[in-house]
Structure 1
């Protein structure tokens, strides 16, 4: 027989062995199983792409942007880091929805910056506040080292990330159609070496988004099995070994998976 108390103790044991500073929230069927350092503001890394896609779909619902609009990728759009657009032919034409998809499933930084420019930084931050997110701020475009050196960074918290996941799963502000499309994009995630790494994905539904920069490893996910739904956010910083951070997140994911399939 499964036990939420046992799961909490398992996760606490994994966290205690972490070499980094862990912030975590695990909610199962709206019950908080564990919440630790959940209000701690930290670098979002690529998790900032979650509020960007939510804001994009909200703006589409309001008629401010068109998800089917085609945008030409220009040389000055391209930035380094994660993603594939930087390697594509100049003049490539991609729809807004294509860009949002690439932003999520391969964490494309060029696509992200194009979406930030289209939606507007202030619009994204305003919608974050509407969702009740206290710690999430988009302060700069991705790979903008000049802004970073001025002290501007994109930040979030574990508790805020759960609010974003909840909006996708339960659509308080978005329509059910928008929520379904975002969830479908998240299920195409190509980076599965953290929360889903030790799960049998034939047995559970996982929609996740990772984030990483030197010293930081994150993953957030909506996990479903039968009638159970899990919202999980694991954010780790102050790491001196990226692989060990990934392993901590994967072990937490496995503990949740084992609990669900019991």
Structure 2
């Protein structure tokens, strides 16, 4: 049997070669890792600069855009300025009515800018309405129109009575409408008007007698604030028949008080009221800067003509204020 001889020298050579190959593989791996790390580091460093520049530019842009904040103190100052403007008008009104008040008369005034809802009033209280009560009769009639039309002697009678009551302040037309509101009973009709006023919060308004009837037991009352509220609501189409009432007021033939204080080309809608010692007027003025209301009520007059002149002068001053 042959004996195998093992060549130890050849084994050593192969072992050395193997060790060299392992060393080469390890060296190649280490160099590869180093190259990849270096490449990643260089890329990251290269991309970091644009990001930094972008952030710096964003900060610069934020600094360039001014941010306007309204501090609470500034808001309060603006509110005070608005109030001061109304106070200024209030003071002008007081100066104009002072000569009439000096005779022992009482004068009440309400003014409102219908666009901004800014308003001011002087001496508001319940006063004799005279024919201003007809505004509330009209409001009640339009709210009860189906019942009114059932009682018409001819088609369109109710609208005709309303037209006469508002445009020429016809007293008999007003009384006929009130009776129809009560189905022939004047007291029930007046209560219907009062119920209308309560439901719409015209708190100073009350109908206690027919037009031209004695006022020794009761009378008709309203206030400039209630009249201002009524005008605001028909202008805003809040009440039933608002557009029709406003249209009738624009056809008003008695325009010698508030409407006489504004230029002839300015549209107005008003309703007057007079007694022997009372001169009233309530109007919407459609000025070039927007609509506004003026309501004036007087009582205990010794000179009605002076009162009418005062109302016209006051109207002119309010117009200059509202439409400078």
Q: TM-score, normalised by structure 1?
A: 0.81
Q: TM-score, normalised by structure 2?
A: 0.66
1:154 aligns with 2:240: no
The verdict on how the C-alpha distance between 1:206 and 1:67 changes in structure 2, with shifts beyond 3 A counting, is farther
In the alignment, the residues of structure 2 paired with residue 67 and residue 246 of structure 1 have an alpha-carbon distance, to the nearest angstrom, of 41
Q: CA RMSD in A?
A: 2.0
| Contact 1:51–1:124 under 8 Å retained in 2 | yes
Q: Which residue in the other structure is 1:216 paired with?
A: 278
The verdict on how the C-alpha distance between 1:234 and 1:260 changes in structure 2, with shifts beyond 3 A counting, is same
In the alignment, the residues of structure 1 paired with residue 150 and residue 264 of structure 2 have an alpha-carbon distance, to the nearest angstrom, of 30
| Contact 2:111–2:119 under 8 Å retained in 1 | yes
1:34 to 95, 120, 140: 120
Structure 1: any 5+ residue segments left out of the alignment?
Answer: 72-92
Moved over 4 A (4+): 3-6
* Larger RCO (CA under 8 A, 6+ residues apart): 1
| Partner SS, residue 260 of structure 2 | coil
Q: Which residue in the other structure is 1:191 paired with?
A: 254
**Structure having the larger proportion of residues in strand:** 1
Alpha-carbon distance, 1:144 to partner: 1.3
| Contact 1:25–1:232 under 8 Å retained in 2 | yes
Q: C-alpha offsets along residues 79-129 of structure 1, whole Å, 9 cap, x if unaligned?
A: xxxxxxxxxxxxxx9711111111011110110100110112111111111
| Partner SS, residue 291 of structure 2 | strand
2:180 to 110, 114, 118: 118
Structure 2: any 5+ residue segments left out of the alignment?
Answer: 1-84, 182-188
The verdict on how the C-alpha distance between 1:30 and 1:67 changes in structure 2, with shifts beyond 3 A counting, is farther
1:104 aligns with 2:170: no
1:12 aligns with 2:97: no
Q: Which residue in the other structure is 2:268 paired with?
A: 206
| Contact 2:94–2:122 under 8 Å retained in 1 | no
Q: C-alpha offsets along residues 222-245 of structure 1, whole Å, 9 cap, x if unaligned?
A: 111235121221101111000011
Q: Which residue in the other structure is 1:59 paired with?
A: 144
Alpha-carbon distance, 1:256 to partner: 1.8
1:50 aligns with 2:112: no
1:238 aligns with 2:300: yes
| Partner SS, residue 245 of structure 1 | helix
In the alignment, the residues of structure 1 paired with residue 237 and residue 310 of structure 2 have an alpha-carbon distance, to the nearest angstrom, of 30
